[in-house]
Chains A and B, each alone.
Chain A
Amino acid sequence: DQQVKQNSPSLSVQEGRISILNCDYTNSMFDYFLWYKKYPAEGPTFLISISSIKDKNEDGRFTVFLNKSAKHLSLHIVPSQPGDSAVYFCAASAGVFNDMRFGAGTRLTVKP
């Protein structure tokens, strides 16, 4: 039972344009959402997070939007850079124990 879904396995954008990565979840108990970035042969690294009490969180070029009614969140990268090329994982957690559930990941390729 996959509670966090990233339906696009890959995304390719041109340098300087916007990258939009999407994530859907099914568990209404999730109250904290995170995006992780993963380079080959490395572990995921934390990128940005959002609590369910907010609908937007911004950090530099990265913005995460949360639509609770649709159980959908998205990560916007503006402007996209070649160094952003990586696999991006969406993750969600519920309750106090911070046990995360991850999506399958979306491979982003930013072309120069």
Chain B
Amino acid sequence: EAGVTQFPSHSVIEKGQTVTLRCDPISGHDNLYWYRRVMGKEIKFLLHFVKESKQDESGMPNNRFLAERTGGTYSTLKVQPAELEDSGVYFCASSRVAGGPSQETQYFGPGTRLLVL
């Protein structure tokens, strides 16, 4: 079974440019999450999709970030325009079901390393 994949693995862009990150979850996983880790700090939750719907986007830092999951399969996270503080590692995770006393483990992708210069 293929795991969560993310593209690109690395991205270096200039301040003001646009970058789009892609995440392909494990097939059949309705739940998709985006996280970000900035320079050795904690991994911060960004948002959670259930199929194509945004369940919780409370972690999105500002309106420069736009996440979509059309058709409930892969997801994209667009940063426009990028700022220096957006640099970090962006992780995507997926799970089959969410919540409950035996919460499904989230499977993480390898991350996209974004550097904004």
Q: For chain A, give the interface size range.
A: 20 to 34
B39-89 residues with Cβ-Cβ distance < 8 A to A are 40-45, 48, 55-56, 59
**A103 pairs with B106, CB closer than 8 A:** no
**Number of A-B contacts defined by CB within 8 Å:** 71
Q: Is A63 an interface residue (CB 8 A)?
A: no
A33-80 residues with Cβ-Cβ distance < 8 A to B are 34, 36, 41-46, 49, 51, 53
In this complex, which of B99, B104, B109 has the most chain A Cβ atoms within 10 angstroms of its Cβ? B99
Q: How many chain B residues touch A (Cβ–Cβ < 8 Å)?
A: 31
Task: Please give the residue numbers on chain A whose beta carbons come within 8 Å of chain B beta carbons, in ascending order.
Answer: 2, 4, 9, 32, 34, 36, 41-46, 49, 51, 53, 89, 91, 93, 95-105
Task: Please give the residue numbers on chain B whose beta carbons come within 8 Å of chain A beta carbons, in ascending order.
Answer: 4, 31, 33, 35, 40-45, 48, 55-56, 59, 91, 93, 95, 98-111
